[in-house]
C-alpha cells in the first residue's frame, strides 16, 4: 500500500470531486537521515493518512517537499510532521495563489540528493551558507552600488517572472547553472551577490558553493520568492519581483505582480501561461496563449497537433515505434530554443 495504484484520470477525477479546500505548501531541510528507506515508508503512511497529495524527495542529506493538504487536516498534519526531530519547526512556504488543485496524487521517492546540483558535497563545507535576507533587507541590498542579483532558477522559470535587473542564466537545469554562474562572475568575487530561487532550497547549497569558490559577500533570499511575495504584501513593500513565480505543480505559476513580461511562443502576443504539449508523446513545456491553444489543439507544433487528433489506439501504436525525427524531438534535441524561431527556420506556418 506504499504507492499509488490508480491511473492518472481516476486520480484527477477524485480530486475534482472533493468538496473541501486544500492548502498548497512546500518545505525543505538539509538534515542527515540515517535510514532513508525507512523514513520514506513512514512518511508515505503518515502523509496518506492525512490525504496529502504532492511530490516528496528524501535523501541522506534531507527532504524536499511540494504538497497539498486538506485544509481541515492542516494543523494535525503539521503537528505530526514537527513531531519528527529531523523536521521540527521546518519553515513552511504557503502558496501565494492556490486553487487547491496543485497535485492529484502522493509520490514519496528516495533520491541520492534532494536537488540535483551536480556538486561533490565532500569537497566543500555545505553548512557555510550565505547571509539570509528577508524581503525588506533584500530590497535594500538591491539598491546598493554594484550589487549583483542572480536568478538561480531555470530559463523557463525566469522567462515569466524575475527580479528587476537580475542576471538570468540561460540554463535548462540547476546542475548546468552553477558552473555557469561561477564562470560568469569569476572577476567579481568582491561584489555583493544576491541569490534567489523559488523557495530557497537551491540558494542554500549554491551560496555555500560560491563561498567555497572565493566569493566574499554572498547573500540569499530567505524562503525564496514565495516568502518574499507574502512579506511584500504584509508589510506594504515595493515588489521588485515582476510577473509570475513558476511552480512545479499543476498550477504552473503564481502571479506576483500584474506585469506580463513574456510572450506566446507561437504568435508572439503577451502571455505567461505555461502548458505541456497535448501530444502525450511530447509533453513539451512552453508558453501558449488561448488563441494558439485553440488553433493548435494545445500542441507545440503541427506534427504534435496531427498526432493528438489521432484515435487513442493509433497514438499508442505510434508511441511504440517512438518516431524520433518528428518536430517535437528535433525541438527537444536543440535544447528548447524559442518556438517562433524554430517554426520560422523550418518554414512552418501556423
Could you tell me what percent of the chain has a pLDDT over 70? 91
pLDDT greater than 70 at residue 167: yes
Q: Which of helix, strand or coil describes residue 90? A: coil
Q: What is the pLDDT of residue 311?
A: 86
| DSSP-based three-state secondary structure for 286 | strand
> What is the total residue count of the chain?
350
* Burial of 302 (C-beta count, 10 Å sphere; 0-12/13-18/19+): middle
Cβ pair 130, 79 in contact under 8 A = no
Least confident range of 212-221, 266-275, 327-336: 327-336
Residue among 197, 264, 282, 292 flagged as catalytic: 197
**What residue ranges do the domains of the chain occupy?**
8-110, 121-235, 274-345
**CA pair distance 197, 199, nearest whole angstrom:** 6
Per-residue pLDDT of 201-220, as tens digits, reads 999 999 999 999 999 999 99
State residue 56's pLDDT score: 97
**Any idea which residue has 502522493 for its cell?**
106
Angle of helix 74-82 versus helix 36-49 axis, rounded to 10: 160
Beta strands 253-255 and 241-246, pairing class: antiparallel
pLDDT, tens digit, for every residue of 47-71? 999 999 999 999 999 999 999 999 9
Q: In the predicted model, is pLDDT for residue 152 greater than 60? A: yes
- For residue 4, the model assigns a pLDDT of 77
**pLDDT for 219-243, tens place per residue?**
999 999 999 999 999 999 999 999 9
Q: In the block, which residue shows the cell 512545479?
A: 248
pLDDT tens string 112-143: 999 988 888 888 888 899 999 999 999 999 99
Q: Which of 109, 107, 104, 108 is nearest to 22 (CA)?
A: 104
Domain spanning 8-110: CATH 3.90.1150.10: no
The predicted structure's pLDDT at residue 73:
97
The grid cell for 57 is 524527495
Cβ atoms of 298 and 282 closer than 8 Å: no
Judged against a pLDDT cut of 70, whether residue 244 lies above it is answered with: yes
Of 28-42, 166-180, 238-252, 301-315, the least confident: 301-315
Terminus-to-terminus CA distance in the chain, angstroms? 47
Superfamily of the domain at 121-235: Rhodanese-like domain (3.40.250.10)
Q: Is 292 a catalytic residue?
A: no
- Which of 54-58, 190-194, 315-319 shows the lowest per-residue confidence on average (mean pLDDT)? 315-319
C-alpha to C-alpha distances, 124 to 1, 16, 128, nearest whole angstrom = 40, 47, 9
Question: Strand 241-246 and strand 93-94: pairing?
Answer: unpaired
At 97 the pLDDT is 86
Confidence (pLDDT) at 29: 94
What's the CA gap between 345 and 92, in Å, rounded?
Answer: 46
User: What is the DSSP secondary structure assignment for residue 195, as one 8-state letter?
Assistant: E
Amino acid at each position: 500500500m506504499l504507492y499509488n495504484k490508480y491511473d492518472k484520470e481516476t486520480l484527477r477525477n477524485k480530486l475534482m470531486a472533493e468538496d473541501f479546500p486544500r492548502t498548497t505548501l512546500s518545505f525543505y531541510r538539509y538534515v542527515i537521515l540515517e535510514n532513508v528507506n525507512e523514513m520514506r515508508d513512514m512518511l508515505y503512511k503518515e502523509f496518506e493518512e492525512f490525504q496529502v497529495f504532492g511530490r516528496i524527495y528524501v535523501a541522506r542529506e534531507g527532504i524536499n517537499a511540494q504538497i497539498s493538504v486538506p485544509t481541515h487536516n492542516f494543523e494535525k498534519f503539521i503537528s505530526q510532521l514537527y513531531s519528527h526531530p529531523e523536521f521540527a519547526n521546518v519553515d513552511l512556504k504557503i502558496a501565494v495563489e492556490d486553487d487547491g488543485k496543485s497535485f492529484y496524487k502522493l509520490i514519496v521517492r528516495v533520491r541520492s540528493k534532494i536537488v540535483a546540483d551536480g556538486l561533490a558535497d565532500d569537497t566543500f563545507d555545505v553548512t557555510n551558507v550565505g547571509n539570509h535576507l528577508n524581503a525588506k533587507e533584500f530590497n535594500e541590498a538591491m539598491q546598493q552600488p554594484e550589487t549583483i542579483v542572480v536568478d538561480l532558477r531555470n530559463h523557463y522559470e525566469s522567462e515569466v517572472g524575475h527580479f528587476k535587473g537580475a542576471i538570468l542564466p540561460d540554463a535548462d537545469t540547476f546542475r548546468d547553472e552553477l558552473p555557469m554562474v561561477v564562470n560568469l562572475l569569476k572577476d567579481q568575487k568582491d561584489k555583493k551577490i544576491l541569490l534567489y530561487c523559488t523557495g530557497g532550497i537551491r540558494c542554500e547549497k549554491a551560496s555555500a558553493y560560491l563561498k567555497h569558490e572565493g566569493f566574499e559577500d554572498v547573500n540569499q533570499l530567505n524562503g525564496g520568492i514565495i516568502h518574499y511575495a507574502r512579506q511584500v504584501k504584509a508589510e506594504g513593500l515595493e515588489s521588485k519581483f515582476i510577473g509570475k513565480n513558476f511552480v512545479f505543480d499543476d498550477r504552473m505559476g503564481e502571479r506576483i505582480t500584474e506585469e506580463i513580461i513574456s510572450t506566446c511562443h507561437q504568435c508572439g502576443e503577451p502571455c505567461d501561461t505555461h502548458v505541456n504539449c497535448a501530444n502525450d508523446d511530447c509533453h513539451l513545456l512552453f508558453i501558449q496563449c488561448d488563441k494558439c491553444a485553440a488553433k493548435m489543439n494545445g500542441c507545440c507544433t503541427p506534427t504534435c497537433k496531427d498526432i493528438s487528433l489521432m484515435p487513442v489506439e493509433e497514438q499508442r501504436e505510434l508511441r511504440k515505434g517512438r518516431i524520433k525525427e518528428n518536430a517535437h524531438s528535433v525541438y527537444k534535441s536543440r535544447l528548447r530554443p524559442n518556438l517562433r524561431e524554430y517554426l520560422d527556420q523550418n518554414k512552418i506556418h501556423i
